[in-house]
Amino acid sequence: MPEGLLTGCRVVDLSTLFAGPFAAMMLGDHGADVVKIEHPAGDDLRHWGRQKDGVPLFFKTVNRNKKLVAVDLHHVEGQEVVRRLVSRADVLISNFRPGRLAAWGLGWPVLHSLHPRLVVAEVTGFGQTGPYSRQPGFGTLAESISGFAAVTGPPDADPVLPPFGLADGIAGIATAFAVTAALWDRERTGTGVQIDTALYEPLMSVVGSHILEFDQLGTLPPRMGNAVPQIAPRNTYRTMDGQWIALSGAADTVAKRLLRLVGGEGAARDPRFSSNANRIEHRAGLDELISRWVAARSRAEVLERMREADVAVAPVYDASDILRDVHFRARGSIVGIDDDELGRIHMQGPFPIIPQRPASVRSVSCGAVGAHTDAVLGEVGYSGTDIAHLASSGVIARSAHTAETSG
């Protein structure tokens, strides 16, 4: 298989939980050699979500393609371990509160002086600057303060937060983009840069034009459930067999084809539905027309007939549907991997797809805390005696198997 785009790039992932590790995962998927440093007690993500046979499934997903090293940064010797690793790296990703790295002697000025080509990406709740910068920040707060929750949920109901790490995931993708842009810039300038990602900023950007609308028009978008202010139809609809489909009539030609299918030429020529503006005004009647047609048919029939009519439609999937879908398998959206902890497993594949330099999931066997500590520290000049001393002092953690083998 051809090498990934980032083959040869060394990344130190000093972050915890989701946003930073997700960014590092993306870099690893595309070929980077990623070393994840976690506290000897283990990343908190090891205790989030469900497990099988003691294996944390969320942690395994986000920390694939990484080597695990356990270091306690409260020890001076632990800080030196990180400096040694960083001195050979291209990228450092961190998500500690502003000032924490500096207190450990790992702030941007020190690292930049030590290794001027290093790219440092720091992901925090509210960024490195501004009045909120020192406040604790999690994805929930980002989803709230970004404007996302205010526009999400049914009309006249409470604001709704997503049941997954939306802000963290988007911030991770944005950080991975920034890192690759910084690596390109380094090729021109010869020096690395400091990247400052606030969790709320990428999500605030993708929510839409609500800020400009209020700035210029003084209006706030209402919560509209599955609808959006800009287009109609756009909703989910229940089929005869209790399944759901979603569709969008964003393009006028698509909406006309849909109307002909569910209501014949009469519906297609109905003045209430003759334009997107009219369809928005008569959204309730339009949804009723579509709902009646969909409710009288199975999901399979609805999808078949709508696709034949070239209508933009998709089933509402859960994980069981996703795993069975032939398109996802064929494209690599879902990949199967042989894992020495769980056997054959399936998870989301790397993205985006680069045919000439494909990304890959090479390893998901994260294993115990410190599973790769000995090997990684050996690569940066620590002897077996040095490693044993650090372990006995509580500076690092290493897997029991490695310790026995080395001893």
Residue with tokens 């380094």: 186
Token digits for 349? 């594949």
- Which residues are paired to 348 by β-bridges? 334
Q: What is the mean pLDDT of residues 247-260?
A: 92
Residue 51's CB is within 10 A of a number of other CB atoms, namely: 14
pLDDT of residue 401: 53
Among candidates 105, 14, 28, 110, which has minimal Cα distance to 61? 28
Measured distance CA(22)–CA(275) in Å, rounded: 42
Judged against a pLDDT cut of 60, whether residue 404 lies above it is answered with: no
pLDDT band at 406 (very low <50, low <70, confident <90, very high): low
Rounded to whole angstroms, the Cα distance separating 34 from 85 reads 11
Label residues 70-88 b or e (16+ Cβ within 10 Å = b): bbbbebeebbebbbbbbee
On the 0-12 / 13-18 / 19+ scale of CB atoms within 10 A, 258 is buried
Pick the catalytic residue from 168, 196, 287, 374: 168
Which residue spans of the chain are classified as CATH 3.40.50.10540?
10-205+326-406
Domain with CATH 3.30.1540.10 in the chain: 234-238+244-315
pLDDT band at residue 323 using 50, 70 and 90 as cut-offs:
very high
Q: Is the peptide bond before 159 cis (omega within 30 degrees of 0)?
A: no
DSSP at 362:
-
The two most distant CA atoms of the chain are separated, in Å, by 84
Q: Is 168 a catalytic residue?
A: yes
Residue 153 makes CB contacts below 8 A (sequence gap 6+) with 159, 160, 223, 225
Retrieve residue 39's tokens.
């506290």
> Percentage of the chain surpassing pLDDT 90?
93
User: Residues 6 or more apart from 105 whose CB is under 8 A from it?
Assistant: 79, 83
Going 156 to 161 to 163 to 166, the CA torsion angle's sign is positive
Q: Which uninterrupted H or E stretch holds 69?
A: strand 66-71
Its pTM stands at 0.94
pLDDT at 366: 73
State residue 399's pLDDT score.
Answer: 80
Please report the DSSP string for 160-206 in residue order. Answer: ---SS-HHHHHHHHHHHHHHHHHHHHHHHHS---EEEEETHHHHHHH
pLDDT band at 253 (very low <50, low <70, confident <90, very high): very high
Greater confidence (333 vs 251) lies with 333
Cα–Cα distance for residue pair 162/179, rounded to 1 Å: 27
In this predicted structure, the answer to whether residue 186 has a pLDDT above a threshold of 80 is yes
User: Cα–Cα distance between 97 and 390 in angstroms, integer?
Assistant: 26
Comparing 55-59, 138-142, 227-231, 394-398, the range with the smallest average pLDDT is 227-231
End-to-end CA distance of the chain: 37
- Look at domain 10-205+326-406 and name its CATH class: alpha beta
Q: What's the CATH superfamily of 234-238+244-315? A: formyl-coa transferase, domain 3 (3.30.1540.10)
**Closest residue by Cα to residue 220 from 152, 143, 150:** 150
Residue 72 has pLDDT above 90, yes or no: yes
- Reading the block at residue 327, the tokens are 């398109």
